[in-house]
C-alpha cells in the first residue's frame, strides 16, 4: 500500500540509522529514541504475523524500563502474557535490518520469506487481527504509540481485514501483560477498565490482608516511583486504599512524571540497587525508623527493591535475593512439613545472586535452588519446569512466584486460609513491582518483622558488578548458566587462577558474560572481604584487556 511504501521510504532515508545494526534481545529493542523508528516498524510487522499465527491478542509495550529518559524500546507480549518466543526474535531482527535506502523490493522479498517461514503450518484466511498497545510515561512514548495507531489503522483500510486495536495508554509493563492475558482467557474483544480488573484481582486480596490485621508494626510506607508510570497507577490505587483502610499510611515519592527529564534519575529500583544508597527525596532519619518501610520501583514498574538504614545509618539493601528467600521462608512457616511430601518448593536465581543467599537457601531454608541464565523469561521457564511452587527473582528485583495445579489443588484441600489469601496476591504472569510490594508487605506483617530483622537473616558477601567495553562482545561465549566462558580461549583459565589465589575463605567467585542489553561485558565478583573483591575485579579486567 501507499502507506507502507511512504513509511518505508521515510524510515530508510533517515541518516541517523543508516549504519545501525538492530537486535531484538532479551528485553526487545531498546536504544536512543531517535534510532527507534525502524525497530518500531519491524515490531508492528512482527506483531501482525504473531497475531495471525496465534489468532489471539498480541500486545506491544513501549518502554525502556530503567534506562535513561532519552532511551525507549518495544517488546511484544504473547496471548497468555509471556514474551516473544526466542525462535521469533531472529525474524523481527531480520525485518528491522532489511530496511535500507532504495531497497524496498528486497525488503518486501525478505519480509515475505520471513512470513512464509514464520507462518508455515498456519492458515492466514479468516483471522481477525487483535492487537493491544500500552506505553510508559517517556516523552517519546506518545509518538511511538501514535505510530502504532496509524500503522494498524492503515493496515485495516488497505486490506479490509478485520482488526481489533486497543490502546491502553499509560500502563505499567506488568499491567499490559496482565490485560493481554485477561483478553485471551476471557475471550473478550472489548476494552477492559484496567484499574478495575487489576484492582479486583490483586488489590482486593491485599485490602483483605490488611483488614485481617489486629495491628501493624509499620506506620508508613514510602514508595519511590522513579518519576515514572508507577506513580500514575499508584496514585489511583492510593486513592481507593486510603478510603478502605487506615492501617498503614502510603506516601508516594518521586512522582514527577510530567518532567520527562527526571525519569529514573537519582531514584528508582535500579539506582538504589546499583548505588546501594537512598534515592532522592528520602530522608535519612525517617529511613532509620523501623516503623517506616521503604521501596523503589523502576521506570516501568516491573522491578522493586526494599531498603532501610540501620542504627549507624548503614544501608541495608533488600533486593531480589532477599525477596526470594523471604517468600520461601514464608511458605515453609505457613505449611506443615508433610504438605511438601509430594510437592516441590524451590527457588530459581541467576549467577548474579549473592553466594550467601544461595547458601542460606540450601543450608538454612533447606530448599532446592536452581541457577538460570540472565533474563526473567529464563527464570520463569526454569521455575515452571522444576517446581510445583517456583519462586524466581533476579538480584535486581525482578521476579515472582509460579504455581501448578498440583499445588493449587492441595491448597484447596488443606485448610490454610491465610496461605490461600497470600497466594491470591501473586501475579504469576510476570514480575510485577506493585503486586510484589503487596506480597512482601503481607509477609512482613504476618511474620511481624521489620525491614532490619529481614535484613539480618543472612549477611551478603561483599561484591561488585562492573562493565567493560570490548571491541566485540559476541566473542564472549558462556556455558554453565553463564558462570563460565568457553571463549575467548584462555580467559576462563585466567579467571580460575585469579579466583583460586584470592580464595582463602572459599567464598570467592567471579564470572564474565556479554550483556544482552548494552554493548559491554559485565564482570561480577564476590569474596569474603571488600579488598579481596577489588583485587579480583582489577585482575579480571586486566585479563580481559
Binding residues for ligand NG1, per CB under 6 A? Answer: 26-27, 65, 352, 374-375, 394, 396, 398, 515-518, 522
CA 427 to chain CA centroid, Å, is 13
Give me the catalytic one of 65, 94, 141, 296. 65
Residue 315, class by beta-carbon neighbours within 10 Å (0-12 exposed, 13-18 middle, 19+ buried)? middle
Between CA 295 and CA 270 the distance in angstroms is: 12
Residue 256, class by beta-carbon neighbours within 10 Å (0-12 exposed, 13-18 middle, 19+ buried)? middle
Of 255, 258, 260, 196, which Cα lies nearest the Cα of 231? 255
Please provide the DSSP assignment of 117-138 as one string.
Answer: HHTTT---TTPPEEEEEEE-S-
Between CA 355 and CA 368 the distance in angstroms is: 15
For the bound state, the minimum distance from the C-beta of residue 156 to ligand NG1, rounded and expressed in Å, comes to 33
Measured from the CB atom, the residue of 300 and 436 that comes closer to Zn ion is 300
Q: Which residues pair with 61 in a beta bridge?
A: 75, 134
Contact partner, 453, from ligand NG1, Zn ion, none, Cβ < 5-8 Å per class: none
Look up 414 and say whether it is catalytic. Answer: no
Contact partner, 516, from Zn ion, ligand NG1, none, Cβ < 5-8 Å per class: ligand NG1
Measured from the CB atom, the residue of 26 and 94 that comes closer to Zn ion is 26
For the bound state, the minimum distance from the C-beta of residue 465 to ligand NG1, rounded and expressed in Å, comes to 6
For the bound state, the minimum distance from the C-beta of residue 25 to ligand NG1, rounded and expressed in Å, comes to 8
Contact partner, 298, from ligand NG1, Zn ion, none, Cβ < 5-8 Å per class: Zn ion
Measured from the CB atom, the residue of 51 and 435 that comes closer to ligand NG1 is 435
Q: Is 518 known as a binding-site position?
A: no
Measured from the CB atom, the residue of 255 and 296 that comes closer to ligand NG1 is 296
Asked if 227 and 263 touch (Cβ cutoff 8 Å), the reply is yes
Contact partner, 264, from Zn ion, ligand NG1, none, Cβ < 5-8 Å per class: none
For the bound state, the minimum distance from the C-beta of residue 24 to ligand NG1, rounded and expressed in Å, comes to 13
Q: Is 395 known as a binding-site position?
A: yes
The conformation of residue 361, written as its DSSP 8-state character, comes to I
Contact partner, 518, from ligand NG1, Zn ion, none, Cβ < 5-8 Å per class: ligand NG1
Residue 67 found at the interface with Zn ion (CB under 5 A): no
Q: Is 65 known as a binding-site position?
A: yes
Contact partner, 374, from ligand NG1, Zn ion, none, Cβ < 5-8 Å per class: ligand NG1
Sheet holding 220-224, edge to edge: 249-253, 220-224, 292-297, 304-309, 315-318
Rounded to a whole number of angstroms, the CA Rg of the chain reads 24
Contact partner, 302, from Zn ion, ligand NG1, none, Cβ < 5-8 Å per class: Zn ion
Residue 400 found at the interface with Zn ion (CB under 5 A): no
Measured from the CB atom, the residue of 44 and 353 that comes closer to ligand NG1 is 353
Of 124, 191, 185, which Cα lies nearest the Cα of 159? 124
Q: Is 513 known as a binding-site position?
A: yes
Backbone phi and psi for residue 305, each to the nearest 5 degrees, phi listed first? -135, 135
Residue 167, class by beta-carbon neighbours within 10 Å (0-12 exposed, 13-18 middle, 19+ buried)? middle
Kindly identify the residues of this chain, within the stretch 293-352, that bind Zn ion according to CB under 5 A: 298, 300, 302
Q: Is 303 known as a binding-site position?
A: no
For the bound state, the minimum distance from the C-beta of residue 100 to ligand NG1, rounded and expressed in Å, comes to 28
| Total number of residues that touch Zn ion (CB under 5 A) | 4
Measured from the CB atom, the residue of 176 and 371 that comes closer to Zn ion is 176
Instruction: List C-alpha distances in Å: 203 to 135, 228, 301, 427, 434.
Output: 22, 20, 16, 11, 9
b/e for 427-438, b at 16 or more Cβ within 10 A? bbbbbbbbbbbb
Residue 95, class by beta-carbon neighbours within 10 Å (0-12 exposed, 13-18 middle, 19+ buried)? buried
Measured from the CB atom, the residue of 452 and 464 that comes closer to ligand NG1 is 464
Binding residues for substrate: 394-396, 513-517, 522
Residue ranges at the known binding site for Mg(2+): 65, 298, 300, 302
Residues making up the binding site: 65, 298, 300, 302, 394-396, 513-517, 522
Residues that bind Zn ion (CB under 5 A): 65, 298, 300, 302
Instruction: List, by residue number, the catalytic residues.
Output: 65
Amino acid at each position: 500500500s501507499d502507506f507502507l511504501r511512504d513509511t518505508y521510504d521515510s524510515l530508510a532515508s533517515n541518516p541517523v540509522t543508516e549504519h545501525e545494526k538492530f537486535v531484538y534481545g532479551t528485553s526487545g529493542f531498546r536504544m536512543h529514541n531517535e534510532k527507534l523508528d525502524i525497530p518500531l516498524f519491524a515490531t508492528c510487522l512482527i506483531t501482525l504475523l504473531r497475531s495471525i499465527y496465534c489468532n489471539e491478542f498480541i500486545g506491544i509495550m513501549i518502554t525502556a524500563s530503567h534506562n535513561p529518559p532519552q532511551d525507549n524500546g518495544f517488546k511484544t507480549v504473547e496471548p497468555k502474557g509471556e514474551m516473544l518466543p526466542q525462535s521469533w526474535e531472529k525474524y523481527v531482527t531480520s525485518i528491522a535490518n532489511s530496511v535500507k535506502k532504495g531497497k524496498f523490493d528486497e525488503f518486501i522479498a525478505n519480509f515475505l520469506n520471513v512470513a512464509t517461514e514464520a507462518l508455515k503450518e498456519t492458515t492466514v484466511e479468516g483471522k481477525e487481527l487483535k492487537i493491544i498497545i500500552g506505553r510508559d510515561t517517556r516523552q517519546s512514548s506518545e509518538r511511538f504509540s501514535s505510530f502504532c495507531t496509524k500503522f494498524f489503522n492503515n493496515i485495516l483500510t488497505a486490506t479490509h481485514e478485520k482488526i481489533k486495536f486497543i490502546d491502553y495508554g499509560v500502563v505499567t509493563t506488568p499491567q499490559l501483560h496482565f490485560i493481554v492475558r485477561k483478553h485471551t482467557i476471557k475471550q473478550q474483544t472489548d476494552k477492559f477498565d484496567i484499574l478495575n480488573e487489576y484492582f479486583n484481582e490483586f488489590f482486593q486480596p491485599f485490602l483483605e490482608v490488611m483488614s485481617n490485621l489486629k495491628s501493624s508494626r509499620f506506620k508508613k510506607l514510602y514508595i519511590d516511583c522513579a518519576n515514572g508510570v508507577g506513580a500514575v497507577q499508584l496514585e489511583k490505587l492510593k486513592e481507593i486504599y486510603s478510603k478502605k483502610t487506615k492501617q498503614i499510611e502510603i506516601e508516594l515519592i518521586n512522582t514527577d512524571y510530567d518532567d520527562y527529564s527526571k525519569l529514573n534519575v537519582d531514584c528508582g529500583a535500579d539506582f538504589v540497587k546499583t548505588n546501594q544508597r537512598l534515592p532522592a527525596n528520602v530522608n535519612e532519619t525517617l529511613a532509620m525508623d523501623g516503623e517506616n518501610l521503604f521501596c523503589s520501583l523502576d521506570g516501568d514498574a516491573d522491578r522493586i527493591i526494599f531498603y532501610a538504614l540501620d542504627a549507624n545509618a548503614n544501608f541495608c539493601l533488600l533486593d531480589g535475593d532477599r525477596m526470594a528467600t523471604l517468600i520461601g521462608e514464608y511458605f515453609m512457616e505457613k505449611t506443615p512439613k508433610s504438605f511438601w511430601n509430594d510437592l516441590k518448593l524451590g527457588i530459581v536465581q541467576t549467577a548474579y545472586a549473592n553466594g550467601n543467599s544461595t547458601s542460606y537457601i540450601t543450608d538454612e531454608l533447606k530448599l532446592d535452588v536452581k541457577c538460570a541464565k540472565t533474563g526473567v523469561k529464563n527464570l520463569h521457564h526454569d521455575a515452571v519446569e522444576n517446581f510445583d511452587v517456583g519462586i524466581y527473582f533476579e538480584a535486581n528485583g525482578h521476579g515472582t512466584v509460579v504455581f501448578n495445579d498440583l499445588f493449587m489443588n492441595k491448597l484447596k484441600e488443606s485448610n490454610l486460609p491465610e496461605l490461600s489469601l497470600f497466594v491470591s496476591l501473586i501475579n504469576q504472569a510476570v514480575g510485577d513491582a506493585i503486586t510484589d510490594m503487596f506480597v512482601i508487605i503481607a509477609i512482613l506483617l504476618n511474620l511481624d518483622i521489620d525491614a532490619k530483622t529481614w535484613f539480618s537473616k543472612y549477611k551478603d558477601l561483599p561484591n561488585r558488578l562492573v562493565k567493560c567495553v570490548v571491541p566485540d562482545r559476541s566473542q564472549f561465549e558462556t556455558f554453565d548458566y553463564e558462570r563460565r566462558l568457553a571463549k575467548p580461549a584462555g580467559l576462563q583459565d585466567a579467571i580460575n587462577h585469579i579466583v583460586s589465589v584470592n580464595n582463602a575463605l572459599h567464598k570467592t567467585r567471579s564470572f564474565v558474560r556479554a550483556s544482552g542489553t548494552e554493548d559491554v561485558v559485565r564482570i561480577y565478583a564476590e569474596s569474603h572481604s571488600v579488598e579481596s573483591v577489588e583485587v579480583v575485579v582489577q585482575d579480571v579486567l586486566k585479563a580481559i584487556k
